A and B are shown apart, each in its own frame.
Chain A
Amino acid sequence: MSILPDSYLTYARRHAGPDHDYYPASPIVDRAPLTLPRAALLGLWVVVPLEFFPLNPTGQPFKTPGAMQTPYPDLRHYTTRDYGNRVGAYRLLKLFGKLGLRATFAVQGAVAERYPGLVRDVLADGHNICAHGWDTDSLHHSGLSVDQENSFITRTLDALHSVSGTRPDGWISPARAEGFATPARLAANSIRWFADWAHDDLPTTFQTQEGILAALPLSNELDDWQILINYTRPEQEWAIQVRDAADWLLDEAKRLNSPRLLTLTLRPFVSGLPYRIKLIEEGLSGVLRRSDVSVVGPDDLLNLLSL
């Protein structure tokens, strides 16, 4: 029985390069070497999401990872997530201070509105911030109208602006979810870089109908949620995997004479737990103590692209 139309075997986008117009094909081995700050061979970029998980999520168009799971009121998951903004984030800030590591905190508008003191503490410690959407239940997808999506973006940027005094130019979408038009709408709202796509290990340019964005690399496979929660690996293995990644990337950078980036996401409610923080420290300090490693931030990465 066939219920598939013959159009199921027509392939409108079967041509050289990807099946979209956002960026062209570019094998990493063919690219000119980048120059990292302080002539480092490996740049370490750490991203810390500050998220708000509402107790009454709509779950539309999908339930965001980490959202409420039990029947309302799911105080168990609400408070374990809120722990991150109260305790875990401060544990990470203390660790970063000890290591001299400048991170990028991806802040949701609802966090800036609810916990402005947390955002001020992050900034006072010298870290960068970027926008991370309104909250974990305000997902960007193709079903949003232009006005709905623009209001998610502007409301978020306004909330961060009012706390920090600066309008962010960087963006990570909640759950790294986008609609087809999201990159263009970000560009139209003066966003310069975003880090939703995981298509590369190095910064790339990303074409939208409203101008060019910088797509910064952010590993999904080395993300703390991926390793510790999705793959249920213990934190000792997170530290080993980070070490193995740094070893490989440094060796590859030397062999190919082409610097590499190690990008890590640390969630305060995941990595900031008492039994994990020392192993997070072990992983990070193991990377930082090598020669030829430099901590980098969005500005460093934007400088690598001729935008």
Chain B
Amino acid sequence: MHSDPNLYDFWPYRDRPKITWPYNKKVAFWVAPNIEFYELDPPTNPSRKPWGRPHPDIVPYSARDWGNRVGHWRLMEVMDECDIRGSISLSVAMLDHHPEIIRACVDRNWEFFSHGIYNTRYSYNMSEAQERAVLEDSIRSVMDATGQRIRGYLAPALTHTERTLDLLAEYEFWYSCDLFQDDQPQPLKVKGGKRLISMPYSLEVNDVITYGIYQQSPRAYADTLMRHFDQLLEEGSETGTVMCIPLHAYLVGHPHRIGPFREALRYITSHRQDVWVTTAKEIAEFYLANHYEQSLADIARRGNFRPGTGFNPGQQGGL
């Protein structure tokens, strides 16, 4: 085990080269509905229990199923009203379980990226072959069902191995949502010379965290989102920032939450003159084409470049 993942170099926020988003926008804004499937009776992984109570754990299971029966449709309607295309963090088995949801997303030209096969199958303790099988299943299944080649990844239930990001690069993913070290994209240090970036996702303004862990009320969550946005917009005049709102319809879709949430979404999208309302893949594509080299050069210029790749530090020592 390593004390430092060595997946990215230190890169202070002050005086970074300017990122200018398309049309001179200051904030790239994307919304990530997690469209997930949790199994009633999943197999055991020794590193993590899927449910708190003995199977079947009725309330949390059915609460998540509620998201796929009720909550999804409510959230989708609000996103339609605000003219936002989702970037879907997809439990890939949802393609099989709820094709009606997938069709509605395809009809809206939403982006799909992989969030594993089920959110109750964890990457911990997987062999390399098993981890490859999950990625190959993800790429093939989404392509077959939607015609989209997925370019992004968020590990199922945020469970990783040391090789996860190297494999993403090898399979020509463009971005990972697994790291939370920055408000801007950044090159990741992966094997094989392929380009993979970290895409700012968020735990801080993720509905799971704000409702469940920070125990905020629905109105306080809306207020948090607006303040988060205001700050990133202000800083976006200096260099382009990224704001993501990760969501779970089984939480934000409830009738006591969706109204205040809609107010926050209306507020953010009322700033379209400064905000690029887009998808993660479009942000990644733009960054890779226009700012990837610039970022690497600035990191090197500051003397912050470290050799080696993730979990595989180079020989010349660190900082």
Contacts and interface: CB of A to CB of B under 8 A. Distances in A.
Are chains A and B native binding partners rather than an unrelated pairing? yes
Interface in B57-95: 57-59, 62-63, 65-66, 68-70, 72-74, 93
A253 B46 CA distance: 46
A241 B258 contact: no
Nearest to B55: A142
B96 interface: yes
Interface string B27-59: 000000000010111010110000011111111
Nearest to A3: B125
Contacts of A177: 53, 57-59
B52 A62 contact: yes
A230 B212 CA distance: 9
B259 interface: yes
A242 B254 CA distance: 11
B40 A201 contact: no
Contacts of A200: 66, 69-70
A199 B55 contact: no
Interface string A108-143: 000000000000000000000000000000000111
A201 B71 CA distance: 10
A245 B219 CA distance: 12
B54 A176 contact: no
A61 B53 contact: yes
A196 B58 contact: yes
B285 interface: no
Contacts of B46: 3
Contact of A16 (B68, B97, B117, B260): B97
Contacts of B212: 231
Given A4-B130, A25-B98, A237 B217 contact: yes
B215 A233 contact: yes
A241 B73 contact: no
B256 interface: yes
Given A1-B125, A26-B69, A200-B69, A240 B219 contact: yes
A245 B217 CA distance: 13
Nearest to A25: B98
A59 interface: no
A244 B215 CA distance: 18
A262 B53 contact: no
Contact of A29 (B55, B73, B96, B255): B73
Contacts of B58: 173, 176-178, 196-198
Residue from B58, B100, B129 whose CB has the most chain A CB atoms within 10 Å: B58
Contacts of B52: 62
A28 B73 contact: yes
Interface stretch (A6-14, A79-87, A158-166, A299-307): A6-14
Contacts of B258: 248
A20 B57 CA distance: 13
Contact of A8 (B130, B211, B256): B130
Contact of B54 (A16, A62, A249): A62
- The 9 A-B residue pairs with the shortest CB-CB distance in the complex, in nearest-first order: A2-B127, A245-B256, A245-B255, A199-B62, A241-B256, A248-B255, A197-B62, A199-B65, A231-B215
11 contacts: A2-B130, A14-B117, A15-B96, A16-B97, A25-B97, A62-B52, A141-B54, A200-B70, A220-B63, A233-B215, A244-B260
Given A8-B121, A14-B93, A244-B260, 14 more contacts: A1-B125, A16-B98, A19-B40, A19-B41, A25-B97, A26-B69, A28-B69, A180-B55, A197-B59, A201-B66, A231-B211, A240-B219, A244-B219, A262-B255
